[in-house]
Structure 1
Amino acid sequence: MPQVLEFKLPDLGEGLTEAEIVRWLVEVGDVVAIDQPVVEVETAKAMVEVPCPYGGVVTARFGEEGVELPVGAPLLTVAVGTEGAVGSGGSVGAGSGTGSAAGAGAAVVASAAGPGFGSGGSESSGNVLVGYGTSAPLARRRRVRPEAMGAPAASHATAEAASSAPVPDPVRGPVAVVSPLVRKLARQHDLDLRQLVGSGPDGLILRADVESAIRAKDEQRAAPPPITVPVSIPVPEPEPEPGTVPGAVSEPSLRPPVARGVTGPAVERIPLRGVRGAVADKLARSRREIPDATCWVDADATELMTVRSAMNSAGGPAAGPKVSVLALLARICVAALARFPELNSTVDAQAREVVRLPEVHLGFAAQTERGLVVPVVRDAHAGNVDSIGSEIARLTEAARNGRLTPAELTGGTFTLNNYGVFGVDGSTPIINHPEAAMLGVGRIVPKPWVHGGELAVRQVVQLSLTFDHRVCDGGTAGGFLRYVADCVEQPALLLRTL
């Protein structure tokens, strides 16, 4: 007998509790194989394709594109079984799979269980989210409400079974709501879910339906009272001011007339969620917890730019990809952190300890269409300019395409922020919590500079370092920044650390 299995939004790791549906990859009635990606979601860390551990026919989807779902909320249901099921990635006819699911009026609706659920466990891989270390919960049968015991036990996920089931009583019958978040939201705003018409499959009430009802309720409360025509009452003329002639025409008022009944443009509210919400939370926490300080210095980058041109021209086209300025600055930061390890640390506030980290995982700020992200170059202390530069290029491309994984966006120990690409000279960066420092780099532009005792036009850049004053004092921060500036002005100093 076929079964209708319910696949819930899995734990995506990294402490994430919700995700926004960006794009559905399957439709109701489609045939899916085991571990086939079925939906693309956006978390506070990255965009992830979620694979389904079941093979069979999709009978329902829960949540429209743009809806945010909590971990554990239903994503979709799949009809699997001996008749027309997809056992090991095979195919099945959509008509036969759907028909068998509809004919089984008492089909079992189960949560995303691991291997061994159902008939021999061949319909489930157990890989709820491949590569993210999620574990499969124990299989559980869903409880049946007492008021629905007398009705036919039809699955809410099968369209045919739902159409043949009797219509529930509008007052006492069950409500077509699956997500507990939707029920909680309705309770908080005193909404009767039985009065709502769901826009989801088979009349399922979605979060968007409840939010729309809340907005309509708020607009009704905020509606202005009806306008009434007041009765005309004669008003006595005011007493003339001393020194004025009664009946004389007074000077016109210089104040402009007040326009009544005219409203301005509507206020736009943009929700802080996804990447933007995660960035807002992290920056607010950084300002709230870290006593930061900033120091800066101007440096002559003419020699650095000359060395870069020589490196890119040596060997011709067969020499490999071009060396970027960011790769050179990243290698300089690694050398500086080896001399000043205090800045490659974090603070354990509960233990009141400064934790110095042995490896340098270098993050760099990248602006994308989805917002600001900070990819991390792992083990930057073990790389050279070429390896660091190639990894920066790979992560930058992945960031632009929205394909960075949570592992590539976490675990940084120091951040490099090149805001000079925006055409600005300086800034006071906000530390990427829980790190201890961030180096900011402005644009490199020709400026008058005293070189060799004479005034000359040189390529000048402003460097700024924001640091956690708990991990070090100004002397250490100044020494770090001065070493970076010296390497920019005299790149040969890097030879001592290679």
Structure 2
Amino acid sequence: MAQVLEFKLPDLGEGLTEAEIVRWLVQVGDVVAIDQPVVEVETAKAMVEVPCPYGGVVTARFGEEGTELPVGAPLLTVAVGAAPSDGPQDGPADRSGAAPARGAAEGSGNVLVGYGTGEPPARRRRVRPTAPLAPAGPAPTAAVPTRAAGARDTLGTEARDTLGTEAPRATAHRNGTGTGTFRGDGPVPVISPLVRRLARENGLDLRELTGSGPDGLILRADVEEALRAAAPQDDRTRQPALAHAPAQAPGSVSSAPAGGIRIPLKGVRGAVADKLSRSRREIPEATCWVDADATELMRARAAMNAAGGPKISLLALLARICTAALARFPELNSSVDTEAREVVQFDHVHLGFAAQTDRGLVVPVVRDAHARDAEALTAEFARLTEAGRAGTLTPADLTGGTFTLNNYGVFGVDGSTPIINHPEAAMLGVGRIVPKPWVHEGELAVRQVVQLSLTFDHRVCDGGTAGGFLRYVADCVERPAVLLRTL
């Protein structure tokens, strides 16, 4: 007898709690093998394919493309062959109500980089309303996929802090326009912390809402609908939380322009926005810069590439200069532990570099850059850049950096004051290399000039250290032979 097993969104690691379904790789009725990728999801770190630990026939899928799901929410159910039972289990029941065998419920046990196909951590618990829903009007039809027989109804979220009652409350779903009112005393289940924050920022009490998701789960669309219903008619165009505000009435005054496109800050773009905002809030940053004559560096690179072998990239040479400079000024290869009020200096250099992709700005990390030569750095930069463009970077590729190199010269600009990649302490910016008039050996000449900028956390060092680091980098750019002392 076949058993229906439920595969839930696995623990994504790196503190990630949700993911967006980008593309389903299987259809209902398809036969899948153990560890076959079944769905492509995008997290705040990367886009990955998630494998299913069960082999069998797909009987149901939960969530359409573009839907955000929390960790532990069902992804799909698979009908598999019966297995010998060795006692009562905690896994989902089959069609007859019997528990599946432990071996089948545990799955293959194989693990992707940063992603497991096993059960989610035990600390993630379901949150259900503690009181029944009291309908206040006719309930609209919710776009919720039908579950296969025997599949567990386990879509839930972690118990979070609930909204305080001192905030002004929006009176949504009270006049027959909603699906009901939540009257429970326990935590209110929402699809993600972002939805809870959206409600908090707009003074909306989630207990007055009934979600259109499974188990009354409150979705973002439910919060936006409540805000639309609560907003006065003449003020709707000024509500920041509305995704589709009505057209402005003739003669009315509004600070927001008519029309426009609203783009959700989610996925990689949302993660970048959150990290940059946190950096600006927490880090007292300062920037210094210097112009450098890069003519000799360009000649050295040309000589290396003319000698045969793999081509050396300019970014790899700049990275090699950075690691040598960090060995002299380790204060900039550090992070601030705000809770302990300590500066943590690292004995390794995990070098991040900013890369622009179709999905937004990403910062892949070259592990142990201080131990790599120019050829190895060139190869690793190429691999990570290609993975970033293809959207296949893993969380391990995007985390753990200790210093960042930002080559904004590829955009044709000379200078910039970049925002530090939190929680790092510094970032070196490199502008474009262009011919400019320059005094060389006492005479005016045309040289290849580049502007270098260093943005640093003023908590880890003072201007003297930052200036010494930048001056050493500029000296190596102007006279690459300086690097021979550290090779």
Shorter-chain TM-score range: 0.7 to 0.9
The equivalent of 1:307 in structure 2 is: 300
Q: What SS class does the counterpart of residue 121 from structure 1 fall into?
A: helix
Contact 2:3 2:95 in 1 (8 A): no
Distance 1:327 1:341 in 2: 20
Q: Which deviations, in whole Å up to 9, do the C-alpha atoms of 1:248-292 show, x marking residues without a partner? A: xxxxxxxxxx97269852253322211111111111111111111
1:307 to partner: Cα distance: 1.0
Distance 1:45 1:419 in 2: 22
Q: Which deviations, in whole Å up to 9, do the C-alpha atoms of 1:204-247 show, x marking residues without a partner? A: 7997x95556555554555749xxxxxxxxxxxxxxxxxxxxxx
Q: Which residue identity is paired with 2:101?
A: S
The equivalent of 2:240 in structure 1 is: none
The equivalent of 1:458 in structure 2 is: 447
Map 1:191-202 to 2 at 5 A.
Answer: 191-192=209-210
The answer on 1:289 being equivalent to 2:298 is: no
The equivalent of 2:206 in structure 1 is: 188
Q: Which residue identity is paired with 2:304?
A: M
Distance 2:216 2:37 in 1: 23
Map 1:417-428 to 2 at 5 A.
Answer: 417-428=406-417
Contact 2:426 2:454 in 1 (8 A): yes
Distance 1:216 1:146 in 2: 23
1:354 to partner: Cα distance: 1.4
With over 3 angstroms needed to count, the CA separation of the structure-2 counterparts of 1:310 and 1:146, relative to structure 1, is closer
Q: What SS class does the counterpart of residue 425 from structure 1 fall into?
A: coil
Q: Which residue identity is paired with 2:263?
A: I
The equivalent of 2:101 in structure 1 is: 119
The equivalent of 2:96 in structure 1 is: 106
Q: Which runs of 5+ in 1 are unaligned?
A: 86-103, 111-117, 148-154, 162-169, 172-178, 199-203, 226-257
Contact 1:431 1:438 in 2 (8 A): yes
| 1:391 aligned residue (369, 380, 404) | 380
Contact 1:81 1:123 in 2 (8 A): no
With over 3 angstroms needed to count, the CA separation of the structure-2 counterparts of 1:158 and 1:336, relative to structure 1, is same
Distance 1:26 1:300 in 2: 56
Q: Which deviations, in whole Å up to 9, do the C-alpha atoms of 1:431-481 show, x marking residues without a partner? A: 111111110000001111111111111110000001111111111111110
Q: Which residue identity is paired with 1:274?
A: G
The equivalent of 1:158 in structure 2 is: 148
Q: Which residue identity is paired with 2:251?
A: R
The equivalent of 2:12 in structure 1 is: 12
Computing the radius of gyration from Cα coordinates, the structure with the larger value is 1
Q: Which residue identity is paired with 1:8?
A: K
Q: Which deviations, in whole Å up to 9, do the C-alpha atoms of 1:15-70 show, x marking residues without a partner? A: 10111111111111111111111111111111111111111111111111111111
With over 3 angstroms needed to count, the CA separation of the structure-2 counterparts of 1:105 and 1:19, relative to structure 1, is closer
Q: What SS class does the counterpart of residue 400 from structure 2 fall into?
A: coil
Q: Which residue identity is paired with 1:287?
A: R
With over 3 angstroms needed to count, the CA separation of the structure-2 counterparts of 1:359 and 1:220, relative to structure 1, is closer
| 2:119 aligned residue (107, 124, 136) | 136
The equivalent of 1:29 in structure 2 is: 29
Q: Which deviations, in whole Å up to 9, do the C-alpha atoms of 1:317-369 show, x marking residues without a partner? A: xx12x211111100000111111111111111222211111111111100101
- Misfit runs of 4+, over 4 Å: 137-140, 142-147, 182-187, 204-207, 209-225, 261-264
Distance 1:399 1:182 in 2: 28
Could you tell me the percent identity over the aligned residues? 70
With over 3 angstroms needed to count, the CA separation of the structure-2 counterparts of 1:431 and 1:56, relative to structure 1, is same
Q: Which residue identity is paired with 1:181?
A: V
Q: Which runs of 5+ in 2 are unaligned?
A: 85-93, 133-144, 152-178, 181-187, 200-204, 235-248
1:125 to partner: Cα distance: 2.6
Distance 2:349 2:457 in 1: 17
CA RMSD, 1 decimal: 3.7
Map 1:97-496 to 2 at 5 A.
Answer: 105-107=95-97, 118-119=100-101, 121-122=103-104, 124-127=106-109, 129-132=111-114, 134=116, 136=119, 157-158=147-148, 180-181=189-190, 188=206, 190-192=208-210, 211-212=220-221, 215=224, 218-219=227-228, 222=231, 224=233, 260=251, 264-315=257-308, 319-320=309-310, 322-496=311-485
With over 3 angstroms needed to count, the CA separation of the structure-2 counterparts of 1:449 and 1:497, relative to structure 1, is same
1:158 to partner: Cα distance: 2.3
Q: Which residue identity is paired with 1:379?
A: D
Distance 1:386 1:467 in 2: 28
Distance 1:21 1:373 in 2: 20
With over 3 angstroms needed to count, the CA separation of the structure-2 counterparts of 1:213 and 1:476, relative to structure 1, is closer
TM-score for both structures, normalised by structure 1:
0.73
Q: What SS class does the counterpart of residue 281 from structure 1 fall into?
A: helix
Distance 2:20 2:43 in 1: 6
Contact 1:58 1:78 in 2 (8 A): yes
Query: Number of aligned pairs?
Result: 406
Q: What SS class does the counterpart of residue 408 from structure 1 fall into?
A: helix
Q: Which deviations, in whole Å up to 9, do the C-alpha atoms of 1:87-112 show, x marking residues without a partner? A: xxxxxxxxxxxxxxxxx75345x7xx
Q: Which deviations, in whole Å up to 9, do the C-alpha atoms of 1:135-180 show, x marking residues without a partner? A: 636999x999999xxxxxxx9632799xxxxxxxx99xxxxxxx95
Distance 1:440 1:3 in 2: 57
Q: Which deviations, in whole Å up to 9, do the C-alpha atoms of 1:100-138 show, x marking residues without a partner? A: xxxx75345x7xxxxxxx236247534374333746369
Q: Which residue identity is paired with 1:470?
A: R
Q: Which residue identity is paired with 1:311?
A: M
Distance 1:291 1:192 in 2: 43
The equivalent of 1:236 in structure 2 is: none
Contact 1:51 1:128 in 2 (8 A): no
Contact 1:4 1:157 in 2 (8 A): no
Q: Which deviations, in whole Å up to 9, do the C-alpha atoms of 1:377-432 show, x marking residues without a partner? A: 11111111111111111110111101111001111111000001111110111111
Distance 1:307 1:212 in 2: 58
Q: Which deviations, in whole Å up to 9, do the C-alpha atoms of 1:187-207 show, x marking residues without a partner? A: 8274456xx6x8xxxxx7997
Distance 2:253 2:283 in 1: 46
Contact 1:189 1:214 in 2 (8 A): no
